[in-house]
Structure 1
Amino acid sequence: MKGKNQRLHVQGQRLRRQRHVRKKLHGSAERPRLAIFRSSKHIYAQIINDDSATTLASAGTVEPSFRQESGYGGNKAAAAVVGKLVAERAKAAGIDKVCFDRRSYKYHGRIQALADAAREAGLEF
């Protein structure tokens, strides 16, 4: 496949993987969902209650506090800082347990670094 057809094929595979992971997860008040979004330059994490469709806590590498502290947001060190930040904010909101939504990303690299840092900071999943 070349060009547009290949791009559409890859996007379809990504959406299929995302649906496969997401259909088994549902964030509730007792155990909200920790959703990750990764781009080439940044990484974001949100803790979401799907019952009420609200974001309870969030962190990302585009925040001014992160920018002053670390700078570049596209590496594993930055992902670890975001994981620690989101775990601290979740603890402040009274959240101890979450279910991890990795979307279509492999549990590897930046995703794994974020998850490990969140676990070390006290989140259970």
Structure 2
Amino acid sequence: MINREKKKEVSRKRTFRVRNKLKTFGERPRLVFNKTNKYLIAQVVDDKQGVTLAYATSYEKSFPETGGSRKNKKAAEEMGKIIAQRAIEKGVKQVMLDRSGMLYHGKIAAFADAAREVGLEF
């Protein structure tokens, strides 16, 4: 069984590997998705200029009610819709999904599908 420190190290390496591939091969802004113990965070980052173009969190007061939790799959779908609308308002339609080393499954897949439905391309 893998111990906690080894697990963190492997996760950190995976995160940096994914992020470096996105930075080296991409000309488009990154759509970064992150999970904390209580909330979800998403932002659109332009690495060339070093600025955040759009930002959304599940702890905003304007975030819709999702049935008790602000971190479940339904909250991820709402987050995808919100960040896509804000990015399109700023003139960004094409992005690259930075999943922060997490598997493309569950909340991340729901987030990405909802963002695609609104009009983001990745």
- The TM-score, its normalising length taken from structure 2, stands at 0.90
Out of 55, 59, 64, the residue aligned to residue 62 of structure 1 is 59
- Is 1:118 the counterpart of 2:118 in the alignment? no
The gaps in structure 1 that reach 5 residues or longer are none
Q: 1:16 aligns with which of 13, 16, 27?
A: 13
Partner amino acid, structure 1, of 2:49: S
Match of 1:46 among 43, 47, 54: 43
Task: List 4+ stretches of structure 1 deviating above 3 A.
Answer: none
- Which letter does structure 2 place at the counterpart of 1:10? K
Determine whether 1:90 maps to 2:87: yes
SS at match of 1:45: strand
**Aligned-residue CA RMSD in angstroms?**
1.6
Alpha-carbon distance in 2 for matches of 1:41, 1:110: 14
> Does the aligned pair in 2 maintain the 1:33–1:101 contact within 8 Å?
yes
User: For structure 2, which runs of at least 5 residues remain unmatched after alignment?
Assistant: none
Name the CA distance, whole Å, in 2 between partners of 1:43 and 1:54: 20
Within 2, Cα distance between the matches of 1:60 and 1:72?
13
Shift of residue 88 of structure 1? Answer: 0.2
Equivalent residues of 1:21, 1:103 under 8 A apart: yes
Q: Identity of counterpart residues, as a percentage?
A: 44
Aligned partner of 1:72 in structure 2 is 69
Aligned equivalents of 1:42, 1:104: Cα separation in 2: 18
Q: Is the 8 A contact 1:61 1:78 kept in 2?
A: yes
Mapped to 1, the partners of 2:41 and 2:105 lie a distance apart of 16
Whether contact under 8 Å (1:26, 1:32) holds in the other structure is no
Aligned residues: 118
- Quick one: which amino acid aligns to residue 62 of structure 1? Y
TM-score, normalising length from structure 1?
A: 0.88
